[in-house]
Amino acid sequence: MFNIHALRVKCEGLPQGDLLRETSNPISIIRRSFEARPTADVGRGSEWHIGNVEDVNSDGIAFAMGRTQAVTTPQFDETTHNFLEEEAMRAPFTLGVFDLGTQACGIIRKSGVSQNTTEISAKLARLLNSAPFARESNSVIVVEPIPDPINFIEAIRNALAVTRFSFTVSRPNPQDVNRLIQGPAKQFTEKVGGDKGKVEVEGPDLNKELIEDVTKAVAADGEQATANVRLEDGGPPKRIYLSGSPVIERVDPEPNSSVFEAILHSTRRAYERVRGLPK
């Protein structure tokens, strides 16, 4: 058994692009970026790589992701009986799977490589964007942690009233956005030439059921939300944030399945739980 980070990988079109450049299917761009096995400098002189790319059934793309670093190790030469230091190359790495159906990605939490969800998201985004396919389609690949919405939703349910609700949107890509609100907001953000947008509504007693549905979609999309809730009659409003811990999912491989199939299954399970989709 082990744990994985649950991330959302999106490919978003950029404003004011080269009109002669062809736009491509977002999933195709992401797939080809993995298959290119890119290398990138992610800062502090650290070089990271994607490798070992292979298909998982027809549903996902498995990969290894890690860094290379030169280390000096003390050695003893049996012939000369001299102690010396030799330089060697270390390559700590972790494994992950990108789910083509949900655009979610599960990456194994591994000490020294991928303990921090935000950091591993940023490194994966840097690597995928170092391949030429997103740039050639006037797009950018965005990788964001999927926040766990449970505490936020519980606070909404338990409130006497919700008086303000807002959430962020980015440019269009995911195929499962909330069609009532997220979809038009994303389209407006794109048409106006923006990168990020924000939708906010106020009222004495907002519809909790609708807010919960949108919150799940926002969390699954890797975006943020806030709300003002009133806990008692006449009491002051309290501000709450969809900024809980990123989703970490347990993986328990079946005896007859590969580790990549297990990661794919757990990644999809985590995404569907957040999104509120039927299992």
**Together in a domain, 103 and 12:** yes
Instruction: Give yes or no: residues 101 and 205 share one domain.
Output: no
Given this model, what pLDDT does residue 20 score? Answer: 47
Q: Please give the span between the terminal C-alpha atoms of the chain, in angstroms, as a whole number.
A: 21
Q: How many domains does the chain have?
A: 2
Residues 94 and 180 in one domain: no
Confirm whether 248 is domain-assigned. Answer: no
Question: Is 274 part of a structural domain of the chain?
Answer: no
Average pLDDT over residues 197-218: 88
Asked if residue 15 and residue 138 are part of one domain, the reply reads: yes
Pair 11, 114 in one domain: yes
Per-residue confidence (pLDDT) for residue 235, from 0 to 100: 81
Q: Which pair of tokens denotes residue 248?
A: 């970490």
Buried b (16+ CB within 10 A) or exposed e, 249-279: bebebeeeeeebbbbbbbbbbbbebbbeeee
- The answer to whether residue 176 is domain-embedded is yes
What are 92-141's pLDDT values in tens digits? 899 999 999 999 999 999 888 888 999 999 999 999 999 999 999 889 99
Rounded CA gap, 270 and 279, in Å?
A: 10
- In the predicted model, what is the mean pLDDT of the chain? 86
The answer to whether residues 186 and 77 belong to one domain is no
Are residues 11 and 128 located together in one domain of the fold? yes
Taken in order 190, 127, 121, 216, is the CA torsion positive or negative?
positive
The conformation of residue 33, written as its DSSP 8-state character, comes to H
Q: Are residues 7 and 120 in the same domain?
A: yes
Residue 107: name the closest of 97, 116, 99 by CA: 97
Render pLDDT for 234-245 as a digit per residue (tens, 0 to 9).
888 899 988 767
pLDDT at 82 over 90: no
Q: Is the pLDDT of residue 182 over 70?
A: no
Do 35 and 129 lie in one domain? The reply is yes
Across 66-78, average pLDDT: 82
Are the beta carbons of 101 and 268 closer than 8 angstroms?
A: yes
pLDDT score recorded for residue 63: 97
Domain span at residue 95? 2-145
Q: Tokens 């956005």 appear where? A: 177
Last residue of a domain, one of 124, 145, 166: 145
Strand 161-170 with 39-41, pairing: unpaired
As to burial, measured by CB atoms within 10 angstroms (0-12 exposed, 13-18 middle, 19+ buried), residue 226 is middle
65 part of a folded domain: yes
The pLDDT value recorded for residue 49 is 95
pLDDT at 196: 74
* Closest by Cα among 151, 196, 227 to 15: 196
| Last-in-domain residue among 129, 145, 161 | 145
